[in-house]
Amino acid sequence: MQLKLWKQEKVTLLWQRSNIMKSFIISLFALFFALQTQALQSSIATNFVVSKETVLKSEQWVRCDNATIAGHLKNDLFLFANQKVVLTGTVDGAIWGTANQIQLSGTANQNSRLMGTTIQVSGRLNGSLSALADTIQITTNAVVHGELNIVGKKIFLEGLIDGEATIQAAELVTIAGTLKGNVQITSPKIIIKNNTRITGNLTYVAPNELILEKGIVAGKLTRKVAPTLSSKYLLLVLAIGLFSALITGIFLISIFPVTFAMATQLVQAVPWRCLWVGALVVLLLFMLAGMTIGSLIGIPLGIFLFAGWGFFVYASQIVVALVIGSIVLRRENRSLKQVLISLLVGLFMLYFLAYIPGVAPMVFIATTSIGTGALFLTVLRQRHLVVQVSNDPQPPNPKPDFSENQMEKK
């Protein structure tokens, strides 16, 4: 299977059913943006800058490399940056943002949902904060007047949280701030410093018991032991899930071989682009499904859209599994046998990570976003492929030959 098929100027498409997926996605987004035309203002630039004196009243949809926002945004902000975001201004609406680095030191008057590699919050949030990143830091100057839901590898919380907090970390959680609600923490290592004040209950899941000084937790301190299952049961569940995913992956790859080949190539070439595009696709598809299913007339369409959302979620795991398998095995998938082995290895690693406490949510969100983005970008690229009939005599609409010899010759 040629992973660089899309780079050729003239190719023969091996299978035409991928056009169904392309038409569905394009029609879906056309409908959604048509409904948002009056309130929507989009920007695509290398750098997105809003100066301190600038006031923007319309909803902002921004795709850029770097963003610096020091002005006043009076509506929602949807921001997807490849590298860095610095927000020192004020946003009256909700914030949805993804970037490699996010620094929020301004004011957000509604809910904020952030995803990236490093997230630092040192401003004032008058709404809830949901964040997913490798490292999350809420500094001493930060104030969150709402619920806190954060998932990361390392989390440092030093500010004021005026609401309930749910914290999950794969390695470390350090708390040295004030939390005025109930707190739930899941992490293999938890450090709560003596200047911490928790006015509600503290419930935590950790290998070791916390020994805290009196006065740190005003409510009840409860340690929950992570549920343990027998190794035989875990192996059985893993085997069933792995086998089901493998059969589904083989089925999807056989129907859309070119699409999945191109998608895996894109993940390795532009992973960050796949991440933010996939996050946007999954988010908008879910929102549109929820909007349509809310009305009696839109129930069938809403169910159909939710089914499409579920398809993307599942198919994205197949794409990421292929990439992981090829990286681990250090080879390109040039034959059907190599594709199946890479798929099996990748799926095994994904399912293994899903059983590590605190890691499963990050793995699911990351693989779903990257895989969905790769599939969506692949469908758009296929619009530029030229359907050409080979000069060699052959029957019309030939089906792909997946025999190992033929694949290796290519």
Sheet strands side by side (includes 178-179): 55-56, 72-73, 90-91, 107-108, 124-125, 143-144, 160-161, 178-179, 197-198
d(CA 247, CA 43): 42
Give percent of the chain above pLDDT 90.
31
Q: Which of 136-150, 180-194, 206-220, 238-252 has the lowest mean pLDDT?
A: 238-252
Amino acid at position 119, single letter:
I
The whole-number pLDDT of residue 109 equals: 95
Q: What's the pTM value of the predicted model, to 2 decimals?
A: 0.59
Summarised one tens digit per residue, pLDDT across range 74-87 is 999 988 888 899 99
DSSP 8-state symbol, 110: S
Sequence spans of domains, the chain = 5-17+230-409, 37-223
User: With 70 as the cut, is the pLDDT of residue 244 above it?
Assistant: yes
Residue whose tokens read 């299978």 = 15
User: With 90 as the cut, is the pLDDT of residue 197 above it?
Assistant: yes
CA-wise closest residue to 73 among 88, 93, 53: 93
The whole-number pLDDT of residue 53 equals: 92
> Where would I find the beta strands (DSSP E) of 201-333?
202-205, 221-223
More confident residue, 310 or 122: 122
Most confident of 37-46, 166-175, 282-291, 388-397: 166-175
- Helix, strand and coil in the chain, % to nearest 5: 40, 30, 30
More confident residue, 289 or 97: 97
H helix runs in 294-388, sequence order? 299-329, 336-354, 360-382
The whole-number pLDDT of residue 355 equals: 65
User: With 50 as the cut, is the pLDDT of residue 173 above it?
Assistant: yes
